[in-house]
Amino acid sequence: MAAAGDKKELTEKIRNRALELGFQKVGFADVRTATRDKARLEEWLKLGYSATMSWMSGRKSERGDIQEYFPEARSVISVGMNYFHGEAAGEMKISNYAWGDDYHDVVKERLWKLLKFVQENRPGVHGVACVDTSPVMEKAWAQRAGLGWIGKHTNLISRDFGSWLFLGELILDCDLEFDAPFEEDLCGTCTACIDACPTGAIVDDYLLDASRCISYLTIEHRGDLPHEYENQLHGWIYGCDVCQEVCPWNEKFAAESDEEAFAPREEIVERTGDSWRYLSKDDYQKLFKGSAVKRTKYEGLTRNVAANS
């Protein structure tokens, strides 16, 4: 087992390297700190709020216990990368996070580089790099690592970048110096996100019904939109930023990202309503090559455009 001084030195080296790699937030958590989240996940699933996202329940035991996912896990490095480039506008809107390159590729590539750095400094260490496609409760780990708190809209909010952060984790089989968890709830009595949600998807403080959420409906839902929501997308054709746009923490602290990979593609943000309506499959494939928007597929995107026409 590494001495305390060695752990501290390695932790600070990792922190500095993570910042050099372009992460704005980095924190360290002990895998043994997970307690209440498994029960909260179970309750959310029982309420049916995961809608058709069967993978949430299919791997719930791993989500609830990170050592079921990676049995050797001892430390979790949680990182955040600012992606904000302004608020969506126009007749047909795409969520801010999908204006540039696919964050899954960008964040995971940097995490693998961070793992390589760890292994160069501590040979024999093994790890797993995770983004939101992994069965890991990333917002809960980010809070445990001190990055911020989970707001009433269920997104992680930080003091310095608001909630415009992509999250990722590097799970390691070695001990590090751990940061204090973020214990404060700085939402207070504010209900701006709940009040502004166009479809009432935030059914209670810190509780989201995905089946009502415009982001879920425009991205994950397959086939025809549910009848009650087919005219309720409010201009959104991929994702929705409303609950983030009205958050006072975002209004005050949002800072434009300097990550080139997330810079808006002009052909996406400047496209007009009419050109979206006549989007061909070839145009779709060219326009969204290497983009997160490919998640909804051509059929899903054109369905969303039609619902806003």
Domain boundaries, the chain: 1-309
Quote the pLDDT of residue 102.
97
**Mean pLDDT value of segment 50-54:** 96
CA 272 to chain CA centroid, nearest Å:
27
**Mean pLDDT value of segment 196-213:** 98
Point out the catalytic residue in the list 30, 65, 105, 132: 132
Q: Which pair of structure tokens corresponds to residue 48? A: 């049916």
- In tens, the pLDDT along 209-262 reads 999 999 999 999 999 999 999 999 999 999 999 999 999 999 999 999 999 999
Q: Say what the pTM is.
A: 0.95
Quote the pLDDT of residue 217.
98
- In tens, the pLDDT along 8-20 reads 999 999 999 999 9
**Mean pLDDT value of segment 161-172:** 98
Quote the pLDDT of residue 33.
67
The answer to whether 132 is a known catalytic residue is yes
- Which amino acid does the sequence have at 111? L
pLDDT band at 37 (very low <50, low <70, confident <90, very high): confident
Given a cut of 70, is residue 90 above it in pLDDT? yes
What average pLDDT does the structure give for the chain?
95
Q: State the maximum Cα–Cα separation within the chain, in Å, rounded to a whole number.
A: 64
pLDDT band at 36 (very low <50, low <70, confident <90, very high): confident
Q: What percentage of residues in the chain have a pLDDT greater than 70?
A: 97
Quote the pLDDT of residue 107.
98
Given a cut of 70, is residue 3 above it in pLDDT? no
Given a cut of 60, is residue 2 above it in pLDDT? no
